[in-house]
Structure 1
Amino acid sequence: MKSSHFRRLVLPVLLLCALPSCGTEFRKAWNNAPGVKAATHPHICLPKPGHVEPVAGRWDGTWHSDASGHHGRLRCVVSHPKNAAGDREFFYHATWMGFLSGGYKATHHVQQQGPVHVFKGEHKMPDWAGGFYHYDGTISNGEFKANYKSSADHGTYTMKRVP
């Protein structure tokens, strides 16, 4: 068999085998999010008894680009604070065009202002995807609302807490 025929047969099979692993890291984070695992899980920092963590955990909703009109499903896993300053890891996973998806992590600085948690952050994406993205938003009463902006796009995130 010629090598060009071999490549045409093997490369698509390898790609099909690799595609399911694209969301593996996010699925693992989603399944192990704060508040999901039992108290005996060794890697989960549980809040004080009777205290509901208003920010950490799983969020599900949508994103919408005001620039292009594109939209899709958006999920996010928010960590407990990483330091005394209130920095947290936000692990986003978005879909677009109904079948494409991808995930990324961004650190956001979260501060409580009364009953509302306000956050800001930025994240470097590839230049073809808009470069630096800036985020600002609020979390209150189980609702997550944010704005994002880059040189190529701007829009909103709207999510609700997943129990």
Structure 2
Amino acid sequence: MKHALIFRVVLGLILSSCLSSCGVAFRSAWRKAPVTSQVEGRWQGTWLSDANGHQGELRCVVSELKDLQGDHEFFYHATWKKILSGSYKAVHRTKKQQDGSYRFTGEHKMPDWAGGLYHYEGTIKGDDFKANYKCAMDHGTYTMKRVR
């Protein structure tokens, strides 16, 4: 009984330190993000799984243009159940539309237990960010607003 309690405490400490450290790089990127009226900058909102109804807070830092093809790095940080969170980066290709909005598409490989290959497509128009995501285990939406 005593060993089980010690194991739970140690496991809890390990998990707590891992979960708290996964946002350090994101917080740094968030502080340094450029503020523009185009694609780049800070975005904040929510994600919603259409497959199972799960939802959470979502933030994203979009980097400056990486190349002439329209690629940007999108650095996402999502929460689930207000206690779990994670960050990941995905390159999305953006294309300016005639109405001044931007359409983007991209992919990102996650571990198989987390859904595997994710596909993204969305639009950024003014201060609104809307996207759909899809993988083998889930599909849903991202809805965010620009943070100035």
Give the TM-score normalised by the residue count of structure 2: 0.89
Partner of 1:117: 102
Instruction: Note if 1:148 corresponds to 2:137.
Output: no
Following the alignment from structure 1 to structure 2, what is the Cα–Cα distance between the partners of residues 121 and 92? Answer: 13
2:115 corresponds to which of 130, 141, 144: 130
1:1-163 matches, within 5 Å, as: 12-35=12-35, 52-114=36-98, 115-163=100-148
* SS of residue in 1 equivalent to 2:23: helix
Residue 152 of structure 1 aligns with an amino acid whose one-letter code is M
CA shift, 1:90, in A, is 0.1
Question: Displacement of 1:88 after TM fit?
Answer: 0.4
SS of residue paired to 1:73:
strand
C-alpha contact (below 8 Å) 2:19/2:85 kept by paired residues: no
After TM superposition, give the deviation of residue 65 of structure 1 in Å.
0.2
Deviations 1:91-143 (A, max 9, x none): 00000112100010000000001211000000000001110000000000200
Q: 1:127 to 1:142 in 2, by over 3 A?
A: same
Q: Are the structure 2 counterparts of residues 85 and 69 from structure 1 closer, same or farther at C-alpha, using a change threshold of 3 Å?
A: same
Greater CA radius of gyration, 1 or 2?
A: 1
Distance 1:147 1:28 in 2: 26
Please tell me the residue identity of whatever aligns with 1:99: I
The CA deviation at 1:20 is: 2.4
The amino acid across from 1:21 in the alignment is S
Aligned AA (1:77):
V
| 123 and 144 in structure 1: CA distance in 2 versus 1, 3 angstrom threshold | same
- TM-score by length of structure 1 reads 0.81
> What is the rounded CA distance, in whole Å, between the counterparts of 2:9 and 2:144 in structure 1?
42
- Which of structures 1 and 2 has the larger relative contact order (alpha carbons within 8 angstroms, sep 6+)? 2
Deviation at 1:6, TM superposition (A): 8.1
> Which whole-Å deviations, capped at 9, do the CAs of 1:71-92 have from their partners, x for residues lacking one?
0000000011100111000000
RMSD: 2.0
Per-residue CA distance 1:35-69 (angstroms, 9 max, x = gap): 3xxxxxxxxxxxxxxxx431100000000000000
* Structure 2 gap ranges (5+): none
